[in-house]
A and B are shown apart, each in its own frame.
Chain A
Amino acid sequence: MSYQVNEQGFYGEFGGAFIPELLYPNIEELQENYLAIEKSPEFQEEFHQLLKDYVGRPTPLFLAKRLSEKYGAQIWLKREDLCHTGAHKVNNTIGQILLAEKLGKKRIIAETGAGQHGVATATVCALKGLECIVYMGEKDIERQAPNVARMKMLGATVRPATSGSKTLKDATNEAMRDWINNPEDTHYIIGSVVGPHPYPDMVARYQSVISEEIKKQMDGLPDYVIACVGGGSNAMGAFYHFLDDKEVKLIGVEAAGLGVDTDKTAATLTLGTPGVLHASRSIMMQDKDGQVIEPHSISAGLDYPGIGPAHAWLKVSDRAQYMAVTDAAALEAAVEVSRLEGIIPALETAHAFSVLKDLDLKPTDRVVINLSGRGDKDMNTYMKELNLL
């Protein structure tokens, strides 16, 4: 079975480009050029040079001894938190800014939830001297204030999305509307493996450096690869080069919010049904009338009612397993990782750690957790929730 996108932009029944005609020329331009540009020697050279000298890749694969001891298995951490800007998001924005440059675009737009993708986009725009506008839900602007300030310091304009739940989904709507209104000079840097084809494949390719490095850094294959999923970009990057290695168990961890049996949750694959959101067919949280249900997660980066179509396909075809972790369990895991390993993870990433206790691990098992981001941006939430003041 193939887990890669087909020529029409589908992963099994999921994917495609369900775009308004208004976006057709933009998407067609990307579909026709993204692979050729990515494969060109100039792109490859600059992409890898920037990943090495600017981002600081390869990121280490760290054996977490105290966590290993606690859970009775070998636990390895892929240190994406050590990337420039503090998370894996920059792998994708480096790729897309080079693409935008090759396509002659002058203006960059992006959506952001936790602000990590917004910061990573503002960063590469500063690097390349391009105008940058980031759409961010009003609610997320409040809870991720340090990242808003970082974007502004980097010279980006942050525009609040005030519709709907005022989070990532609404920021994505606003970014798409901006693109509709500015079809010629603007490139939209989508931050996850969501949106119309070719975005899910393009972002997965730029993020696949994560699993490419893990493969080189490990002696043999791991037994498990675990990553958190909102839209699913860090997970797709961590899974990518293991998709055809069936013996490697792939686990995506979504945000259960207050619990999957409550209406305050973002556990898309656990609770969702097939539908079309943000221009691709995937699995999404919706009511019986097909209206999108507003999600909830303590973590802004996972607070999204959809998921990348490739993940929907990995779930339906049983290649990956998806689990859901509550706000409270994620906070507990964040404290544990901080105290056992001296690493404060992002709230998103903390969800991935929380499933360790639920797996039936053997001492010989080798578990890789993609430590997708660091927790600096979440200190406001941690201070409040953990009474750290």
Chain B
Amino acid sequence: MKNKLTELLKNKPQNLLNIFYTAGYPQLEDTTTLLTALEKAKVDLVEIGIPFSDPLADGPTIQESSKIALENGMSIEKLFSQLETHTPQVPVLLMGYLNPVMQYGLEAFCKKCQEVGVDGLIVPDLPMYIYQTEFKEVFEKYNISNIFLVTPQTSEKRIREIDDNSNGFIYAVSSASTTGSKADFSAAADYLGKLKDMKLKTPILTGFNIKNQQNFQDACNYVNGAIIGSEFIRQITDAQDLSKAATNFVTSIK
């Protein structure tokens, strides 16, 4: 089966909008409602968070959405059963912490990802050397891209190493921070400029702290696109009409 993510990224397109939300939030069955709405609104990629009890790389907004999703009864099994009812048209990434994936079973997890049309994984607590020694083979067997993060503190040498080991995009965190913190986006401009000048072979998307069209455009001046998570979750949290709120938000950005 072809990988929609690598297809999309083949010609290094610009202005890619990737929307993140937490599976099973605000209500358990909203996962596919949001996916459908985002597809119709023509986002380029969708990243779905698998909730975890101890999301240590996430800020308060995503922590809270994870907590509610778990209370709603979300699990990896449930997420796969939801995705089975809706074959994604856009590239879909799952973002999840290592422990729930390990308990599900790495091979079973990757196999299921391929079956339901998931193209890539972001596992923030999976370090590169463990990926290479223990995970890579299985990811490749099921044609799943692994997405690495880089930060302003990542050395050039390590960025080059990550570039060599990437087969999707590189997720550039725009300031050294947990998701959704309040730092000004402009602080990231220098850093993204440096990344641009490195002329990496892998496309770059930046995330963390992108909130509006201005931020999005600023980011796209340097890299291939941006990921919006916390702000999107804030927008849908109390929405009367979830699909409409999702559509309106995407329209306001792109």
Chain B residues with CB under 8 Å of A22's CB are 57, 124, 149, 151, 153, 173, 176-178
Q: Say which residue of A18, A21, A184, A289 sits within 8 Å of B148 (CB atoms).
A: A21
Q: How far is the CA of A19 from the CA of B97 in the complex (A)?
A: 11
Chain A residues with CB under 8 Å of B52's CB are 290-291
Q: Does B108 contact A (CB under 8 A)?
A: no
Q: How far is the CA of A25 from the CA of B63 in the complex (A)?
A: 24
Q: Does A55 contact B (CB under 8 A)?
A: no
A286 touches B99 (CB 8 A): yes
A21 touches B124 (CB 8 A): yes
Interface residues of B in 165-190 (CB under 8 A from A): 173, 176-178, 181
Q: Does A155 contact B (CB under 8 A)?
A: no
Interface stretch (choices A70-78, A169-177, A259-267): A169-177
- Specify the chain A residue showing the minimal Cβ separation from B103: A290
Given contacts A163-B63, A276-B99, A292-B54, contact A25 B155 (CB under 8 A): yes
Q: How far is the CA of A278 from the CA of B59 in the complex (A)?
A: 16
A24 touches B103 (CB 8 A): no
Q: Does B200 contact A (CB under 8 A)?
A: no
A180 touches B53 (CB 8 A): no
Interface stretch (choices B41-49, B125-133, B239-247): B125-133
Q: Does B98 contact A (CB under 8 A)?
A: yes
Q: How far is the CA of A284 from the CA of B52 in the complex (A)?
A: 15
Q: Does B33 contact A (CB under 8 A)?
A: no
Chain A residues with CB under 8 Å of B181's CB are 181
Chain B residues with CB under 8 Å of A292's CB are 53-54, 99
Chain A residues with CB under 8 Å of B125's CB are 18-20, 276, 279
Chain B residues with CB under 8 Å of A320's CB are none
Question: Within the complex, what minimum Cβ distance (angstroms) separates A104 from chain B?
Answer: 15
Question: Which residues of B does A touch, CB under 8 Å?
Answer: 52-57, 59, 63, 67, 70, 75-77, 97-104, 124-127, 130, 148-151, 153-155, 158, 173, 176-178, 181
B176 touches A20 (CB 8 A): no
Question: Within the complex, what minimum Cβ distance (angstroms) separates B205 from chain A?
Answer: 14
Q: Does A12 contact B (CB under 8 A)?
A: no
Interface residues on A, range: 20 to 34
The 7 closest A-B pairs by CB, nearest first: A290-B103, A290-B100, A21-B149, A291-B53, A20-B57, A25-B153, A20-B124
Q: How far is the CA of A24 from the CA of B155 in the complex (A)?
A: 10
Q: Does A183 contact B (CB under 8 A)?
A: yes
Chain B residues with CB under 8 Å of A286's CB are 99, 103
Interface string of A169-209 (1 = CB under 8 A from B): 10001001100110110000000000000000000000000
Interface residues of A in 131-153 (CB under 8 A from B): none
B54 touches A169 (CB 8 A): yes
A18 touches B155 (CB 8 A): no
A/B interface sample: 22 pairs, CB < 8 A? A17-B127, A18-B126, A21-B124, A21-B127, A21-B154, A21-B173, A22-B57, A25-B154, A164-B53, A173-B54, A176-B56, A180-B57, A180-B178, A181-B176, A181-B181, A277-B54, A278-B54, A288-B103, A289-B75, A290-B52, A290-B99, A291-B70
- Specify the chain A residue showing the minimal Cβ separation from B158: A24
Chain A residues with CB under 8 Å of B97's CB are 276
Given contacts A21-B154, A181-B178, A292-B53, contact A275 B99 (CB under 8 A): yes
B102 touches A19 (CB 8 A): no
Q: How far is the CA of A20 from the CA of B128 in the complex (A)?
A: 10
Chain A residues with CB under 8 Å of B104's CB are 289-290
Chain B residues with CB under 8 Å of A272's CB are none
Residue among B54, B178, B181 with max Cβ neighbours from chain A (10 Å): B54
Q: Say which residue of B76, B77, B102, B149 sits within 8 Å of A20 (CB atoms).
A: B149
Q: How far is the CA of A184 from the CA of B176 in the complex (A)?
A: 10
Residue among A181, A286, A290 with max Cβ neighbours from chain B (10 Å): A290
Q: How far is the CA of A173 from the CA of B149 in the complex (A)?
A: 20
Question: Within the complex, what minimum Cβ distance (angstroms) separates A194 from chain B?
Answer: 13
Chain B residues with CB under 8 Å of A21's CB are 124, 127, 148-151, 154, 173
Q: How far is the CA of A164 from the CA of B58 in the complex (A)?
A: 14
Chain A residues with CB under 8 Å of B176's CB are 22, 180-181, 183
- Specify the chain B residue showing the minimal Cβ separation from A8: B129
Q: Say which residue of B99, B127, B177 sits within 8 Å of A277 (CB atoms).
A: B99
Interface residues of A in 241-298 (CB under 8 A from B): 275-279, 284, 286, 288-292
Chain A residues with CB under 8 Å of B173's CB are 21-22
